[in-house]
């Protein structure tokens, strides 16, 4: 089997408070963090894990997160670096449906959206404290869903989803198995940073804090036993050191 190519697509950056990355820690300390998507060019299909944020939406609804996204960091421009157009994507997997993970979904007109069923429930019927997170509902217009639940779901051979709930109601981390290289486990927002993992401190945005703790521990267990390298969702220093499209892992 051809080894998949894994591209990390840069979606720009946002600012939140450190106490929202590390719950209750260092209140009043703004932190700029990266937002990215993962494109997997697999022999059986082109898969995208998350789709970044939509600059217009953030400027309109959450301008206080101070978005920085150049024209080169839109989803379309990033896909082009890997040689693809938005309509080439066969499957988009959303870790969850917060605005900074679904911003490009609407452009993926030929894709099936793989998603946790409970996540769509909460995005469409949010708790009051979830409304801002789920404020970019454009992805829901005309989407072709494949709603799933449960653990260790195989998207395509060697691309697997692990349930890591707590941050939201239905959250998936994504594993890509590579031959001759370490497997890659993209945590999604179950782990914003390596510090969350190491100190077992959860993020300040969450639906179920106890589940969030379990998910942090589960990610460390999976990384050790699969084994796989961990890729947190919003950790600037490691992000800067990773290969970005047009460079890729695997292949």
The DSSP code sequence of 58-101 is HHHH-GGG--B--GGGSHHHHHHHTT--GGG--EEE-S---HHH
Q: Give the strand order in the sheet containing 229-232.
A: 153-156, 159-163, 172-176, 184-188, 229-232
In the complex with a copy of itself, which residue's Cβ is closer, 213 or 226? 213
In the complex with a copy of itself, which residue's Cβ is closer, 66 or 213? 213
Q: Which residues are catalytic?
A: 100
Residue 23 CB, shortest distance to a copy of itself, in Å, is 6
Please tell me whether residue 90 binds a copy of itself under the rule CB under 8 A: no
Residue 27 CB, shortest distance to a copy of itself, in Å, is 5
Q: Which of 108, 143, 190, 207 binds a copy of itself (CB under 8 A)?
A: 207
**Between 127 and 146, how does the x/- string for binding to a copy of itself read (CB under 8 A)?**
xxx-----------------
Please tell me whether residue 242 binds a copy of itself under the rule CB under 8 A: no
Angstrom distance (rounded) from CA 116 to CA 135: 18
Angstrom distance (rounded) from CA 235 to CA 189: 11
Of the candidates 155, 151, 167, 150, the residue with the CA atom closest to the CA atom of residue 221? 151
Q: Which of 208, 226, 229, 244 binds a copy of itself (CB under 8 A)?
A: 208
Q: Which of 14, 48, 108, 202 binds a copy of itself (CB under 8 A)?
A: 202
Please tell me whether residue 124 binds a copy of itself under the rule CB under 8 A: no
Angstrom distance (rounded) from CA 249 to CA 232: 16
* Strands 159-163 vs 153-156: parallel, antiparallel or unpaired: antiparallel
Query: Would you state the torsion angle of the CA atoms of residues 83, 184, 166, 67, taken in this order, to the nearest 10 degrees?
Result: -40
Residue 224 CB, shortest distance to a copy of itself, in Å, is 20
Q: E strand or H helix at 13, and its extent?
A: strand 5-17
**Between 144 and 163, how does the x/- string for binding to a copy of itself read (CB under 8 A)?**
--------------------
- Residues of the shown chain interacting with a copy of itself in the complex, contacts defined by CB under 8 A: 17, 19-20, 23-24, 27-28, 127-129, 200-202, 204-210, 213
């Amino acid at each position: 089997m051809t080894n998949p190519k894994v591209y990390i697509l840069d979606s720009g950056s946002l600012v939140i408070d450190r106490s929202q990355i590390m719950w209750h820690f260092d209140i009043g300390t703004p932190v700029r963090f990266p937002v990215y998507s993962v494109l997997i060019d697999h022999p059986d299909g082109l898969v995208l894990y998350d789709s970044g944020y939509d600059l217009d939406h953030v400027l309109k609804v959450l301008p206080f997160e101070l978005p920085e996204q150049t024209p080169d960091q839109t989803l379309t421009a990033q896909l082009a670096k890997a040689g693809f157009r938005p309509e080439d994507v066969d499957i988009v997997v959303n870790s969850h449906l917060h605005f900074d993970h679904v911003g490009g979904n609407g452009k993926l007109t030929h894709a099936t959206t793989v998603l946790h069923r409970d996540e769509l429930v909460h995005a469409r019927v949010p708790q009051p404290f979830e409304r801002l997170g789920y404020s970019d509902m454009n992805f829901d217009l005309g989407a072709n869903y494949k709603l799933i639940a449960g653990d260790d779901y195989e998207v395509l051979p060697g691309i697997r989803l692990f349930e890591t709930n707590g941050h939201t109601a239905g959250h998936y981390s994504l594993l890509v198995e590579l031959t001759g290289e370490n497997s890659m486990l993209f945590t999604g927002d179950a782990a914003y940073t390596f510090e969350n993992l190491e100190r077992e401190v959860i993020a300040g945005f969450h639906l179920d804090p106890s589940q969030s703790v379990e998910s942090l521990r589960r990610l460390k267990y999976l990384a050790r036993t699969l084994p796989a390298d961990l890729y947190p969702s919003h950790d600037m220093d490691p992000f800067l050191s990773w290969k970005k499209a047009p460079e890729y892992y695997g292949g």
